[in-house]
Chains A and B, each alone.
Chain A
Amino acid sequence: MSETFLPVLAGHAEGGQVAAPSTPRNVPYHNATPNPSADALRAQFGDAVHRVDVVWGETTVFVHRAQVLQIVRWLHDDPTQQYDYLSDVTAVEYRDLDRPIEVVWHLRSLPHRRFLRLKALLPKGQPLVVPSVWSVYKGADWLERECYDMFGIRFDGHPDLRRLLMWEQYKEGYPLRKDFPLRGRFSRSEQLRQILSQNPEAKYSMEELTVLEAFDELSLEQRARLRSGEKVGE
């Protein structure tokens, strides 16, 4: 029976008693009932949780930037939370120069049918560094690379923090920052000259294209299939 296929069902925590959501009606703009995870975070982490905001029924928890990894790991591992899916990692910069940049994590708990938004504030004039959650969610890899590419926020602990959308040698800065001119910093001819001097085949490293590193994380059945002759890389 151990090999039988177990479908992943949403709301299967607490013996499948989490009610299926109905279409929300008359959701207040502010001060709806917060996600129960917010109170649990307050109880668990105390001062690291700065503020809880409920907007249009969605809970946002402002946390201290140094504690992000511990908080996300606890949300992922704790049986009362089980946030097993990271939807997005992104950032927001506001037009107000004094307002800090916000880094946003969207977490979803399928077993508990919960959605939680974490935010960490990065004040202007200080190095833009937050901990990487890659060690908890492998899917954060490219999300954090994109965020670094567009905003210049460094994710401490990320294994391979390179640009994702722009090419790696892009020198003009971080395009989604408010001080970035829409057409870029260089002249059009200089932009063309720089990109045409790139080798189109140098974009990918063989380390990136191989699956050998992931071999130990595959299931036994997949490993056996690969061993029996399927090619796994150079």
Chain B
Amino acid sequence: MGLDTRRVETGVDVSPSSSESWVTTRLDFLVNWGRANSLWPMPFGTACCAIEFMATAASKFDLARFGMERMSFSPRQADVLICAGRVPFKLAPVLRRIWQQMPQPKWCISMGACASSGGMFDNYAVVQGIDTIIPVDVYVPGCPPRPEGLMYGIMMLQEKVKKERMADKSLRNEMEPDPQSGLYIPPTLIDEVSEPFGNSVHQTRSGL
């Protein structure tokens, strides 16, 4: 008869033809269950999104329901970096240093429009999306997102964590920046996605 091919709601995809045993897939489920339900966030709040993040963590929305009881204000004891707010260029090396100080396994949530894309701050001082500095798992849109929005992003991240497989080592590979440019994304792509748009096409309205 072989394995039952009906999908079991474990979050772990088992392909009957693979050589993985029942033990490792069950262990995957156990480890992922533990990881997904005890994510310790490292709050990196720089702007108004941090206010919404605080509301999410406070009693009304109660982030502790998702296993995020403990805010880790040190990157060395954190699992997930929640970048809430705009990141100016001057803070970019700091953010990258914090990400590099976090131990594996680690994830990143980019909260709000500014962290995800620079938002309305399409100017000389603000990083146009933190995914140009560090890898990002979940983007939460909004300006700022409501606490429900952040929770939805967290639940999406939990889904992602639950789908990880021990057999697949590629998910745990440390993403190394390109040695030439020091960037995670090719420079040409960064320039392409941050092309002028909207009002910023008119660089100086005084016409100089």
B-binding residues in A (CB < 8 A): 95, 97, 165-167, 172, 175, 178-184, 187-193, 195-200
Contact = CB atoms under 8 A, between A and B. Distances in A.
Interface SS of B by simple majority: loop
B133 A182 contact: no
Interface in B87-130: 89-90, 92-94, 96-97, 122-125, 127-128
Contacts of B89: 167, 191-192, 195
B191 A187 contact: yes
Contacts, number: 79
A192 B125 contact: no
Contacts of A195: 89-90, 92-93
Contacts of A165: 90
Interface SS of A by simple majority: loop
Chain A CB within 10 Å — which of B92, B123, B132, B183 has the most?
Answer: B92
Interface of B: 89-90, 92-94, 96-97, 122-125, 127-128, 132-133, 177, 181-183, 187-188, 190-191, 194, 196, 200, 203-204, 206, 208
A188 B126 CA distance: 10
A170 B191 CA distance: 19
A10 B97 CA distance: 48
Nearest to B195: A188
B97 A192 contact: no
Nearest to A193: B181
Chain A CB within 10 Å — which of B89, B128, B200, B208 has the most?
Answer: B89
Nearest to A177: B208
A200 B97 contact: yes
Given A196-B182, A196-B183, A197-B182, A182 B94 contact: no
Contacts of A179: 204, 208
Contacts of A193: 181-183, 187
